[in-house]
Amino acid sequence: MTSLPLTPTSAATGQLNCHYFNDGLCHSCTFIETPHHDQVADKEAWCAEVLADHSPDSWLPAAVGADRDFRNRAKLAVGGATGAVTMGILDQDFHGVDLRECGIQAPQIRAVIPTIADFLNGTGLAPYDVKARRGELKFVHVTAAPSGDLMIRFVVRSQHGLDVLRSRRDRLMELIPTATVISVNLLPEHKAVLEGSREEMLLGDSLRMNLDRVDLHLRPQSFFQTNTEVAIGLYNQVAEWVDEIAPASLWDLYCGVGGFALYCAEATDQQISRKVTGVELSEQAIESAKISAGELGFESRTGAGVEFIAADATEFAESNLGTAERPDCVIVNPPRRGIGSRLSAALEESGIEHVVYSSCNPLTLAKDLDRMPSYTVERARVFDMFPHTKHLEVAVVLKRH
């Protein structure tokens, strides 16, 4: 496993100082004034309190990365005026607050925000006015791979905005040669969401997220953890746990673009027989996972197999847990709402020996564990995926008793 240190790895020393926070312009990093190590200790204590009724046999030390320059995806609201846009957030009066120097964004994202702002100023498109319900430019999403490659997404209100940006695609490619994916998303509705359902690709189709052992392929609407360094630590930790369990067959439910499944398959010796099945509702995510599996050559490896299926995780489990296809171990990585009563019940009744649960919400994790009394928590570890906030990732190993 690629372990993570217990102190921030940033080359900078001392507490992160943010002038946006100090000036009262942005309070997204709620706990930025608390030393990072104290933040982590508080998260560990809170997580242990929430899971007190399911106290693990052992808590591993928290996995901690840098306290700055860590965020690989910026979701920037466009404000300001035509020809003078801001890129950052909207305040309580829906005025634009420019955050182009935000210290938690990856440096390659910070570097291109002024260029994107200048590009948008040159289009003549107006930022969307929330109160007046007019204008075009709503958001810009920028995702950075470790290689430095970028995915840039523009969210606009109408076809006119799409047409203008499409006509200036070549200029944007000249300005930002590291952009390997460019798309425009249409969000005509007036509602508090970050994207609509229609996406038009202007360049490429997926961003190659080159991690330490696996390359994942992110499409514009793909989910990936926003902290690459800590995500790698999480993938490696789960792969290490799975190798210790040594299941002959493994399911990765809510697999997304295949991170856990591919790490667990990659960790297996080529002569060890392990069937890995990833299940995810998004067909695009499944196609991306299949590309990564093909690049790793799993089709030709002796004794190992990787399969990805586009399906609802709960329905898939309910249909297959009572058959000969039942796995020896299951990984679940659900959204904040948890796996819910149906999947919890299916796992409880399955007889499966081990479950590895990665959760971004300890509160729903605790509720799901309440529904699975046949399992005890063997080990647990906090992953500080979101410094300066209350949010965290926690992974646990469950064993049937």
Active-site residue numbers?
A: 360
Would strands 249-253 and 274-280 be described as parallel, antiparallel, or unpaired?
Answer: parallel
Per-residue tokens: 379: 């080990």
**Cα–Cα distance for residue pair 338/352, rounded to 1 Å:** 19
Would strands 150-156 and 329-332 be described as parallel, antiparallel, or unpaired?
Answer: unpaired
**Cα–Cα distance for residue pair 239/276, rounded to 1 Å:** 12
Amino acid at 80: G
- How buried is residue 289: exposed, middle or buried, by Cβ count under 10 Å (0-12/13-18/19+)? buried
**Cα–Cα distance for residue pair 24/285, rounded to 1 Å:** 39
**Cα–Cα distance for residue pair 221/201, rounded to 1 Å:** 12
Q: How many CB atoms lie within 10 A of CB 143?
A: 24
Per-residue tokens: 397: 């190993």
